[in-house]
Amino acid sequence: MPSGIGLFERALALDPQSVEAQSRLAQLLVARVMDQMTDSAAADTERAVVLVGQALAASPRSFLPHFAKAQLLRAQGRYPDAIPEYGTALALNRNWATGYGHLGWCKLRNV
């Protein structure tokens, strides 16, 4: 069975400009880093930085790239930078319950 990462890699092979695939792949790479389930945290983080940059450049008013960037910043331990990025994602999609949970966790870590 293919992994989520593999599926989003395939999606990007079909449509390299897909903001959703870029954002979700970045989120999965970052999650793998935060969960310490990667062989190369640096490579996954670097790839996520590129994907988030591409997604934000293509669709700065989409909540998904902002959420992915917030997750990336959180994984880097940059909580003060992640908090407003979660805020932007939530301003763009007030119903993103997952975002509220991660924002709260990040605020707790920033105390």
pLDDT tens digits, one per residue of 18-52? 999 999 999 999 999 999 999 999 999 999 999 99
pLDDT(73) > 90 = yes
Q: Tell me the CATH number at 16.
A: 1.25.40.10
pLDDT at residue 109, rounded to an integer: 87
Q: Give this prediction's pTM.
A: 0.92
Question: Contact, 45 vs 74, CB < 8 A?
Answer: no
CA–CA dist 77, 61 (Å, integer): 25
Q: Helix %, strand %, coil % for the chain, to 5?
A: 75, 0, 25
What percentage of the chain reaches a pLDDT higher than 90? 95
Contact 44, 90 (CB under 8 A): no
pLDDT value at 1 more than 80? no
| Total tally of structural domains belonging to the chain | 1
Torsion from C-alpha of 92, 32, 108, 68, nearest 10 degrees: -20
What would the mean pLDDT of 49-58 be, rounded to a whole number? 98
For 60, the domain range is: 4-109
